[in-house]
Structure 1
Amino acid sequence: MRIADAWAWLEAHALIGPHPFQSSSANARRITEAGKKALQHGLQRLKAGQRLDVDLHHLLAWTVRRQFLMGEFELAAFAALKEVEVRVRPLGGFSDELVGVGLMAAAFTPRGPGALTDKNAEAGEQEAMMALFRGAIGTFKYPSSHRAVDYDNPVLAAEVVLLADLPMRLLDRIEARMTQEQ
């Protein structure tokens, strides 16, 4: 029974599939390209890729998923957070000179308030939103901007991509709120 379950799991994850040249047996199977990669890199990489098998924000999906599947984990994580920064700049009306954590602070500061701050939110929520954006950029984009970061754990890289997905969706809400206020 366990062998049948394992076999079904391998097929469900496309690690094995029908053998194209064995027409004499309908049950003939082969190791797929994905299966060969799993043998070469281990199941951790497969599981990390499955984490990204979700509806990523449309501004992230194409580039980030492609880089990740090619094994370019650092580039995928960097590109995802770069998109957050690139999107904040025009939404807040900032110039190209303001970057990174400073850009996030200017965009979301409760004091002022920042161009993207929800003026109807409670002060602690405003502060937390700024901390979320500053923390994501400072923790995961800055290091890749200035030095090589070894994402030897693809699960961590997948989580960074998913972390970037959240601010992108929050920016969708902010953009909609700003449109309504105009």
Structure 2
Amino acid sequence: MKTLQTGPEAIQAAERLDVALHHRLEHVKSQFLLGQYELAAFAAMREVEIRVRELSDSESSLIGVKLMRKSFGEGGKLADPELDPGERVGIMELFAGAIGTFKNPPSHRQVNYADPTEASEVVLLADLLMRLLDRTAARVA
């Protein structure tokens, strides 16, 4: 019956999220299961941005891609001096790209995640970023 109401794609996408998400992302599962794919993806990426701001002690006025570049860029509090310079840039671009692609657009306009699988993958990407931030937190503590 559920398959008839939501379609097999939505059920398969929800199964992707049937994992132990980072504790700061657990709340997005319920949004996703209610079919609020855009809100779930946005909320997950917003948590990443909030965590970066907390760890970098950045002002609330510094947001989005600029926050990522300052926090992970050369001399940024979250930049790992032990990494090769190219790897540091890669981490900075990973965070900046994820925020710029998946958090910023829904902040400014309606984004339609017609494909629930895509939305579930955004949540899983946020989960990975949060786990990377946990490692960063241990290093900068």
Do residues 144 (structure 1) and 81 (structure 2) align? no
Question: Amino acid of the residue matched to residue 138 of structure 1?
Answer: G
Q: How far does the alpha carbon of each residue in 1:69-117 deviate from its partner, in whole angstroms, 9 at most, with x for none?
A: 00000000000000000011111010100000000000000x2x11100
The structure 2 residue matched to 1:158, chosen from 97, 108, 120, is 120
The structure 2 residue matched to 1:167, chosen from 115, 129, 141, is 129
| Residue number in structure 1 paired with 2:21 | 56
Higher helix residue share: 2
Do residues 87 (structure 1) and 82 (structure 2) align? no
SS state of the match for residue 159, structure 1?
Answer: helix
Question: Amino acid of the residue matched to residue 72 of structure 1?
Answer: Q
| Residue number in structure 2 paired with 1:106 | 70
| Residue number in structure 1 paired with 2:33 | 69
Question: Amino acid of the residue matched to residue 10 of structure 2?
Answer: R
The structure 2 residue matched to 1:118, chosen from 72, 80, 99, is 80
How far did residue 37 of structure 1 move? Answer: 2.4
| TM-score, scaled relative to structure 1 | 0.76
Do residues 78 (structure 1) and 42 (structure 2) align? yes
| TM-score, scaled relative to structure 2 | 0.98
Aligned residues: 141
Do residues 46 (structure 1) and 11 (structure 2) align? yes
User: 5+ unaligned residues in a row in structure 2: which ranges?
Assistant: none
Q: Point out the structure with max Rg over C-alpha.
A: 1
Determine which structure has greater relative contact order: mean sequence separation of CA pairs < 8 Å that are 6+ residues apart, divided by chain length. Answer: 2
Q: How far does the alpha carbon of each residue in 1:107-144 deviate from its partner, in whole angstroms, 9 at most, with x for none?
A: 000x2x11100011100000000000000000011110
Alignment RMSD, CA only?
0.6
How far did residue 40 of structure 1 move? Answer: 1.5
Distance in 2 separating the partners of 1:161 and 1:106:
24
